[in-house]
Amino acid sequence: MADLPRVFTIRESSHRIHNPFTPEKISTLGQALHLSPGTRILDLASGTGEMLCTWARDHRVTGIGVDISTVFTARARTRAAELGVADLVEFVHGDARGHVSDEPVDLAACIGATWIGDGVAGSVDLLRRSLRPGGMMLIGEPYWRRPPQDQAVIEACHAEGESFHPLPDLLELFHGLGCDVVEMVLADQDSWDRYVAAQWLNIRRWLDQNPDDELADTLRAELATAPVAYARYEREYLGWGVFALMDRP
């Protein structure tokens, strides 16, 4: 079974949330969805499991998270125990590509990993296959706050080969896939900082402790340029949000 390359777990070693959301925004989303106790959730690419674990604590939902990272999956299980919800949520190490749950769920999510369905449309199709009739899907996805005017922006925003859209176009895309968009919670520049700027200190601390590691040169070079590039490009150009979708009858 494949595993997530180590560079990601180094960069995001202190992160509980591996996307531009804060704990408050996860909580806002949980409240906005009026989650009722016993809601069954499938979370594809669940990372360290913060969304499932805190929603289980706050709303008594149940769920399964699937993630390809052994490190993140182990951390998710630890977090579940820490929050006293290990009986409500389960974390499975596995490839989420093509993953369909055995029992239909009420809510199926793919937050910040739509490559598992080769894009937004494929991910909606994949989530649908696990959903009970009338269930809800959550997609976490970037969008352009401003149109990228050149290749430098696209590269700095890791948008090469991606088809990010401006927000209205992304919502139109969901509509075109047969979905009603029924809620959304968006990141903002401060919450992006919590995701990206937090990586710099993780990298620096790791470099101090692992100066001779084979990844040290790459990460030293990254730390030298990442803050300026982030401020110039990603922070200005890229938005991110979680969108709640329900199939139109």
Binding piece for ligand SAH, criterion CB under 6 A, among 33-41, 44-52, 170-178, 221-229: 44-52
CB of 80 to ligand SAH, least distance (A): 14
Rule CB under 6 A: which of 45-104 touch ligand SAH? 45-47, 66-69, 72, 95-97
CB of 227 to ligand SAH, least distance (A): 21
3-state secondary structure the chain: CCCCCHHHHHHCCCCCCCCCCCHHHHHHHHHHCCCCCCCEEEEECCCCCHHHHHHHHHHCCEEEEEECCHHHHHHHHHHHHHCCCCCCEEEEECCCCCCCCCCCEEEEEEECCHHHHCCHHHHHHHHHCCEEEEEEEEEEEEEECCCCCCHHHHHHCCCCCCCCCEHHHHHHHHHHCCEEEEEEEECCHHHHHHHHHHHHHHHHHHHHHCCCCCCHHHHHHHHHHHHHHHHHHHHHHEEEEEEEEEECC
Please identify, using beta-carbon distances, which residue of 106 and 141 lies nearer to ligand SAH: 141
Site for ligand SAH contains 114 (CB under 6 A): no
CB of 97 to ligand SAH, least distance (A): 5
Binding piece for ligand SAH, criterion CB under 6 A, among 11-19, 165-173, 186-194, 218-226: 11-19
CB of 57 to ligand SAH, least distance (A): 16
# residues contacting ligand SAH (CB under 6 A) = 19
Contact residues for ligand SAH, defined by CB under 6 A:
4, 17-19, 45-47, 66-69, 72, 95-97, 111-113, 116
